[in-house]
Amino acid sequence: MSSVNIGVLISGGGSNLQAVIDDINAGVINGKIQVVISNKKDAYGLVRAKNHGIDAIYVDKRKFENNNDFNREIIKILEEKNVDLVILAGYLKILSEEFVKKYQSRIINIHPSLIPSFCGMGYYGRKVHEKVLEYGVKITGATVHFVDEGADTGSIILQEAVIVDDNETVDTLQKKVLEIEHKILPKAVQLYCDDKLEIKGRKVHVRN
């Protein structure tokens, strides 16, 4: 089976990006990251990419008249790199409808909660964990899902839970969940690259 060309979109430190890079380098994932794109100039994920010889590109939204034009520039870069799979690894911008349609069922996102809880517009980063603690739930976790036109509404690929302790803080909870993210995002990418994922309605089945 031929290697899958991957493009990764980031906005921050890129620890999930690093987890994917590590599994590719270990031969676990049958794919190659062709480009890492960030909407933040100082995103450390760009440094991670460069350290591994991966093209790292900053796209400045302020140079575009609207969000659609901004997204078209990213699409253009992905097309130039012949990207088959797009990974959102801590990417904090909403993709345009045009973007989602072009890469239908080929965009994977990681979210730091058990969707459909604590997700959707406004739920990202530390805010998710703040809301988890505020609500008082006993279990949270992380979700990898395909991206559709909604916010965190696409078909779920993998989930894993963590216990919320009584003395939990945003920082300790974020660390717990991030460890899960580093596990299930590369696993979902591996399954995709091995052609093991099948979407039936809202459900994603893993083929043997």
Q: Which is catalytic among the residues 111, 129, 145, 182? A: 111
Annotation marks residue 111 as catalytic: yes
What's the pTM? 0.95
Q: Where are the domains of the chain?
A: 4-206
pLDDT of residue 208: 84
Chain segment 1-30, per-residue pLDDT in tens = 789 999 999 999 999 999 999 999 999 999
Q: What distance in Å separates the CA atoms of residue 36 and residue 44, rounded to the nearest whole number?
A: 11
Which is it for strands 107-111 and 139-146: parallel, antiparallel or unpaired?
Answer: antiparallel
Provide CB contacts within 8 A for 182, sequence distance 6+.
15, 16, 19
How do 85-88 and 55-58 pair as beta strands? unpaired
Tokens of 61: 């939204």
Of all residues in the chain, what percent carry a pLDDT higher than 70? 100
Rounded CA separation 5/54 (Å): 12
Rounded Cα distance, 165 and 90, in Å: 25
CATH of domain 4-206: 3.40.50.170
